[in-house]
Amino acid sequence: MRDFKPQIWNGVPIPYNAHVADLRGMVESPGPRAWAAIRALAEKPEPDALAVLVELTGSSDPHVRRSTVEAIGIHRSGRTVSDVVCQLLQDPADFVVRSAIQAAANLGLGAAHERVLSLVKAAEESTRLAALHALKDLWRPSDFDAVFDRYIHDRSDGVRKQAAWTVHKNAGKEHWERVFSAWSKDLVPRHRVWACELAGSFGSRAVLPALVTLRTDRDGHVRRAARRAAERIDAA
């Protein structure tokens, strides 16, 4: 759970000092006061607070379900109700699904992994973004092909960039040459920098000719990264 506790939620003071029963009553009328009450429940360590949150995930109001799964995602005992978070990954409202994805990532829910992975191909761009972002923390080595495919083929530049961030955090020796080949020619300078870093970490002298080209890159950060990578390979 995060150390920072906001004091205002949607323009309403968060009633952290209210009793669980009172907070439950505040949720009866959806609106800013209800969202603030749900946020307060996220900070209550009592089992009955978490029980209220679980109950609220069954609400007919998708906005309540979204706020509630967000609260479960930061509750100190949220992992104990992982099945509820996983259920909401199948919610009919896309924005609820996205909040459930983030909750699963926050809680490190391995049980949510396969569903989150499948959502990297969701129709909604924002859902693909959320799934790829979550996989930075839920990553398994077998995810590489699905995530790298989004980097190569997704129609959204934002999704492609998020896929690259996820690969950057998790890709290792097994796939570095494939990633280097793509990133070293990418129009995004950051990706070319990352290509150099991969070469420096995993490459041999065979990659030096490619680094020579990158050492003349139009971007100074790329040039410096290529020089450092080549020096590292030479030193090894």
Tens of pLDDT, residue by residue, the chain (236 residues): 455 788 988 888 999 999 999 999 999 888 889 999 999 999 999 999 999 999 999 999 999 999 999 999 999 999 999 999 999 999 999 999 999 999 999 999 999 999 999 999 999 999 999 999 999 999 999 999 999 999 999 999 999 999 999 999 998 899 999 999 999 999 999 999 999 999 999 999 999 999 999 999 999 999 999 999 999 999 98
Number of domains in the chain: 3
Task: Verify that 87 and 129 share a domain, yes or no.
Answer: no
Q: Which domain holds residue 166?
A: 112-170
What's the Cα-to-Cα distance from 95 to each of 89, 91, 115, rounded to whole Å?
Answer: 10, 9, 15
Q: 104 and 131: one domain?
A: no
Using the 3D structure, point to which of 135, 155, 170 is the last residue of a domain: 170
User: Which of 152, 170, 188 is the last residue before a domain boundary?
Assistant: 170
If asked whether residues 91 and 59 sit together in one domain, one would say yes
Could you tell me the CATH number of the domain that includes residue 222? Answer: 1.25.10
Same domain, 79 and 129: no
Residues sharing a CB contact under 8 Å with residue 229, sequence separation 6 or more, in sequence order: 196, 197, 199, 200, 203, 211
